[in-house]
Structure 1
Amino acid sequence: MFDPAALAVNPAVDIDQKKESDLEVTNSLSETLVDRLNHYKNELLTGLGEVDEYKLLCNQFPELHTKLQSKYNEVREKNSKLLGSIKAVENLISIKH
């Protein structure tokens, strides 16, 4: 026998399920952003170490200055881009909280 009550939707359950689903998405997004931020920061630290090493090498071996300058410039440019990425992700994280 057909029971129309069986098809009735309990709005409270739907709202709770939606809230739980939204919370899961928010948590997942936050975790993803924090992971990305940490990745960028680690890359930046590596790049800063590389820049410092190029400076030391140039001081120690001045004859290599010309050869090392382009590598130094590339790393500095990459570090600048990473700083921009870090700032963007940090801004998004602060908006989400």
Structure 2
Amino acid sequence: MARNSRHGAPISIMKSLTVKSGLMTVLSRLEGREFTVDDLTETYIKDPLSLHQSKKAARQFVYRNMLRLISAGDMTRVVVDSGWPLYRLTAQFFKRVPPSETPLAITPEIQVESPPKEDPRQPLQERLRRHKLEMLSAMGETEEYDAICAEMPELRDEIQPLYNESRDKCSKLLGRVKALESLLARETGSP
């Protein structure tokens, strides 16, 4: 089950433990380093293979996987007197990682040309795309709550807070989308 793709395919590092490739890529870079849950979450969110955009969802995902790795003996908690707990991957983890997941070391002599500069609008366009997808999801959620209320009016009191939350999220996302579209239109010189 050692598939790896840009869509977060699971990577099996042993029979009973499977880790998504986005998280596996980040973990494989941490050999010999201690890290907090927050450190790992931040690194995971920045990785192109990350499946999560929201920090809360990413943190939950990372923490669940950390607990699984600890129980499998692939990660240990480092004892500290104060502050946030620190964690470290064990040698057992690196023995189980498929070779394709271990990052290659690049020597300075090999890297002669500097990579082409990325379009500065690209991150904004990506952010706009994410917000549009989230907005469509929130709109669908709102419509579904509305449909359920129409079919089962007796559930209206239970559904109303969920509907309101979804509608508010949709409004906030619409504001973000409009702001990004305005900024990108200004960048390209459109009115």
Question: Which secondary structure does the structure 1 equivalent of 2:155 belong to?
Answer: helix
Amino acid at match of 2:121: S
Partner of 1:45: 136
Equivalent residues in 2 for 1:1-97, closer than 5 Å: 24=117, 27=119, 29-97=120-188
Question: For residues 13-38 of structure 1, what are the alpha-carbon distances to aligned partners after superposition, in whole Å with 9 as ceiling and x for unaligned?
Answer: xxxxxxxxxx936x1x2110110000
What is the CA distance between 1:96 and its match in structure 2?
1.0
Distance 2:134 2:156 in 1: 24
Q: Structure 1: which 5+ residue stretches go unaligned?
A: 1-22
Question: Which secondary structure does the structure 2 equivalent of 1:57 belong to?
Answer: helix
Identity %: 40
Q: Structure 2: which 5+ residue stretches go unaligned?
A: 1-115
Amino acid at match of 2:181: E
TM-score, with length taken from structure 1: 0.71
Question: Which secondary structure does the structure 1 equivalent of 2:117 belong to?
Answer: helix
Structure number with higher strand proportion: 2
Partner of 1:14: none
Root-mean-square deviation (CA, aligned residues, Å) is 1.4
Amino acid at match of 1:66: D
Count of equivalent residues? 73
What is the CA distance between 1:94 and its match in structure 2?
1.0
**Segments of 4+ moved more than 6 angstroms:** none
TM-score, with length taken from structure 2: 0.37
Distance 1:53 1:67 in 2: 14
Question: For residues 35-90 of structure 1, what are the alpha-carbon distances to aligned partners after superposition, in whole Å with 9 as ceiling and x for unaligned?
Answer: 00000000011011101100111011111001100100000001000000001111
Higher Rg of the two aligned structures = 1
Distance 1:79 1:96 in 2: 26
